[in-house]
Amino acid sequence: MNYYESSKIKNIAILGGSKAGKTTLAECMMFEGGVISRMGSVEDKNTVSDYHEVEHERQNSVYSSIMHTEWRGTKINIIDTPGLDDFVGEVIPALRVANTSLLVINAQNGVEVGTEIMMRYLRRYEKPTILVVNQIDHSKADWDRTLESVNSQFSENVVVVQYPYNAGDGFDSIIDVLKMVMYKFPPEGGKPEKLPIPDDQKERADELHNELVEAAAENDEDLMELYFEEGTLTEDQMRDGIRKGMLSRSLLPLFCVASKKNMGSGRLMGFIGNVAPSAADVAPEKTTEDEEIKTTDSDTTLFVFKAANEKHAGSVGYFKVCSGELSSGMELTDSTTGNKAKMNQLYIMDGKNRSPVEKLAAGDIGATVKYKGANTNNTLRSSGDGKKIAPLNFPNPRIRVAVAPTKSGEEEKMGAALNKMHEGDPTLIMELSKELKQTILHAQGELHLQTAKWTLSKEYGVEIEYSKPRISYRETIRAQAEASYKHKKQSGGSGQFGEVFMRIFPWTEGVEMPTDLKVRGQEEIELDWGGKLLYCSAIVGGSIDARFMPAILKGINEVMEEGPLTKSYARDIVVIVYDGKMHPVDSNEISFKIAGGRAFKEAFLNAKPMLLEPIYRLKVLTPDDYTGDIMTDLQGRRALVEGIESEGSLQKIVARVPLAELYKYTTTLSSIAQGRAAYEREFLEYAMVPSDVQAKLVKELAAQEEE
Ligand X SMILES: Nc1nc2c(ncn2[C@@H]2O[C@H](COP(=O)(O)OP(=O)(O)OP(=O)(O)O)[C@@H](O)[C@H]2O)c(=O)[nH]1
| Site residues (vs ligand X, CB under 6 A) | 16, 18-24, 41-43, 60-61, 82-83, 134-135, 137-138, 258-260
In the complex, the smallest distance separating the C-beta of residue 262 from Mg ion, rounded to whole angstroms, is 17
Interacting residues with Mg ion between 396 and 455 (CB under 5 A): none
Three-state SS at 127: coil
Q: Which of 135, 127, 131 is nearest to 11 (CA)?
A: 127
Distance of CA 575 to the CA centre of its chain: 42
Pairing relation of β-strands 173-176 and 74-80?
unpaired
Residue nearer to Mg ion on the CB measure, 66 or 205: 66
Considering CB distances under 5 to 8 angstroms, the limit depending on partner class, which of ligand X, Mg ion, none binds residue 260?
A: ligand X
In the complex, the smallest distance separating the C-beta of residue 166 from ligand X, rounded to whole angstroms, is 14
19 part of the interface to Mg ion, by CB under 5 A: no
Residue nearer to ligand X on the CB measure, 162 or 219: 162
Q: How many other C-beta atoms are found inside a 10 Å radius of the C-beta of residue 404? A: 15
Residue nearer to Mg ion on the CB measure, 22 or 354: 22
Residue nearer to ligand X on the CB measure, 24 or 378: 24
Considering CB distances under 5 to 8 angstroms, the limit depending on partner class, which of ligand X, Mg ion, none binds residue 21?
A: ligand X
Residue nearer to ligand X on the CB measure, 21 or 469: 21
For residues 43 and 33, what is the distance between their CA atoms, to the nearest angstrom? 22
Residue nearer to ligand X on the CB measure, 106 or 378: 106
In the complex, the smallest distance separating the C-beta of residue 259 from ligand X, rounded to whole angstroms, is 4
Inter-helix orientation angle 199-217/221-230, to 10°: 140
Residue facing ligand X at closest CB distance: 83
The answer to whether residues 285 and 387 touch, using CB atoms and an 8 Å cutoff, is no
Which of 11, 23, 262, 379 contacts Mg ion by CB under 5 A? 23
For residues 532 and 336, what is the distance between their CA atoms, to the nearest angstrom? 33
Residue nearer to ligand X on the CB measure, 42 or 483: 42
For residues 445 and 428, what is the distance between their CA atoms, to the nearest angstrom? 10
In the complex, the smallest distance separating the C-beta of residue 27 from Mg ion, rounded to whole angstroms, is 10
Three-state SS at 345: coil
In the complex, the smallest distance separating the C-beta of residue 429 from ligand X, rounded to whole angstroms, is 23
Q: Which of 435, 427, 332, 345 is nearest to 385 (CA)?
A: 332
In the complex, the smallest distance separating the C-beta of residue 42 from Mg ion, rounded to whole angstroms, is 7
651 part of the interface to Mg ion, by CB under 5 A: no
Three-state SS at 705: helix
For residues 579 and 538, what is the distance between their CA atoms, to the nearest angstrom? 7
Residue nearer to ligand X on the CB measure, 88 or 577: 88
Considering CB distances under 5 to 8 angstroms, the limit depending on partner class, which of Mg ion, ligand X, none binds residue 373?
A: none
In the complex, the smallest distance separating the C-beta of residue 313 from Mg ion, rounded to whole angstroms, is 21
Residue nearer to ligand X on the CB measure, 84 or 657: 84
Extract the runs of DSSP E, i.e. beta strands, from 296-390.
Answer: 301-310, 314-323, 325-327, 331-334, 340-342, 346-350, 353-356, 359-361, 365-369, 379-381
Residue nearer to ligand X on the CB measure, 60 or 557: 60
64 part of the interface to Mg ion, by CB under 5 A: no
Q: Which residues contact 528 (CB under 8 A, 6 or more apart)?
A: none
Residue nearer to ligand X on the CB measure, 81 or 99: 81
For residues 251 and 156, what is the distance between their CA atoms, to the nearest angstrom? 7
In the complex, the smallest distance separating the C-beta of residue 394 from ligand X, rounded to whole angstroms, is 19
In the complex, the smallest distance separating the C-beta of residue 91 from ligand X, rounded to whole angstroms, is 11
Three-state secondary structure of 612-663: EEEEEEEEEEEEHHHHHHHHHHHHCCCCEEEEEEEECCEEEEEEEEEHHHCC
Residue nearer to Mg ion on the CB measure, 61 or 455: 61
- Residue 616: is it exposed, middle or buried by C-beta count within 10 angstroms (0-12/13-18/19+)? buried
For residues 52 and 307, what is the distance between their CA atoms, to the nearest angstrom? 15
Considering CB distances under 5 to 8 angstroms, the limit depending on partner class, which of ligand X, Mg ion, none binds residue 20?
A: ligand X
Which of 61, 259, 368, 455 contacts Mg ion by CB under 5 A? 61
DSSP code at position 417: H
65 part of the interface to Mg ion, by CB under 5 A: no
DSSP code at position 327: E
Report CA Rg, the chain: 32
In the complex, the smallest distance separating the C-beta of residue 80 from Mg ion, rounded to whole angstroms, is 6
Residue nearer to ligand X on the CB measure, 107 or 639: 107
| Cα angle for residues 427, 455, 678 (degrees, 5° grid) | 40
Size of the site for Mg ion (CB under 5 A): 3
Considering CB distances under 5 to 8 angstroms, the limit depending on partner class, which of ligand X, Mg ion, none binds residue 19?
A: ligand X
In the complex, the smallest distance separating the C-beta of residue 135 from ligand X, rounded to whole angstroms, is 4
φ, ψ of residue 632 in degrees (nearest 5): -60, -45
In the complex, the smallest distance separating the C-beta of residue 41 from ligand X, rounded to whole angstroms, is 6
Interacting residues with Mg ion between 332 and 361 (CB under 5 A): none
The answer to whether residues 114 and 85 touch, using CB atoms and an 8 Å cutoff, is yes
Give bridge partners of residue 500 from the DSSP assignment. Answer: 485, 580
Pairing relation of β-strands 285-286 and 252-256?
unpaired
| Cα angle for residues 237, 243, 244 (degrees, 5° grid) | 90
Q: How many other C-beta atoms are found inside a 10 Å radius of the C-beta of residue 497? A: 21
Residue nearer to ligand X on the CB measure, 19 or 52: 19
Residue nearer to ligand X on the CB measure, 50 or 680: 50
In the complex, the smallest distance separating the C-beta of residue 261 from ligand X, rounded to whole angstroms, is 6
- Residue 611 has, within 13 A of its CA and on its CB side, a CA count of 25
Extract the runs of DSSP E, i.e. beta strands, from 95-215.
Answer: 100-106, 129-134, 158-160, 162-164, 173-176, 181-184, 193-195
In the complex, the smallest distance separating the C-beta of residue 189 from ligand X, rounded to whole angstroms, is 10
Extract the runs of DSSP E, i.e. beta strands, from 507-559.
Answer: 521-526, 532-537
Residue nearer to Mg ion on the CB measure, 23 or 368: 23
Q: How many other C-beta atoms are found inside a 10 Å radius of the C-beta of residue 221? A: 9
Considering CB distances under 5 to 8 angstroms, the limit depending on partner class, which of Mg ion, ligand X, none binds residue 41?
A: ligand X
Q: How far is CA 597 from CA 86, 147, 413, 559, 560, in A?
A: 47, 70, 39, 6, 9
In the complex, the smallest distance separating the C-beta of residue 139 from ligand X, rounded to whole angstroms, is 8
For residues 343 and 125, what is the distance between their CA atoms, to the nearest angstrom? 30
Interacting residues with Mg ion between 80 and 139 (CB under 5 A): none
Pairing relation of β-strands 74-80 and 9-16?
parallel
Which of 8, 10, 22, 398 contacts Mg ion by CB under 5 A? 22
DSSP code at position 287: B
In the complex, the smallest distance separating the C-beta of residue 197 from ligand X, rounded to whole angstroms, is 23
Q: Which stretch binds Mg ion (CB under 5 A): 54-62, 361-369, 472-480, 566-574?
A: 54-62
Q: Which stretch binds Mg ion (CB under 5 A): 53-61, 157-165, 366-374, 488-496?
A: 53-61
Q: Which of 376, 385, 384, 390 is nearest to 340 (CA)?
A: 384
Where along the sequence are the contacts to Mg ion (CB under 5 A)?
Answer: 22-23, 61
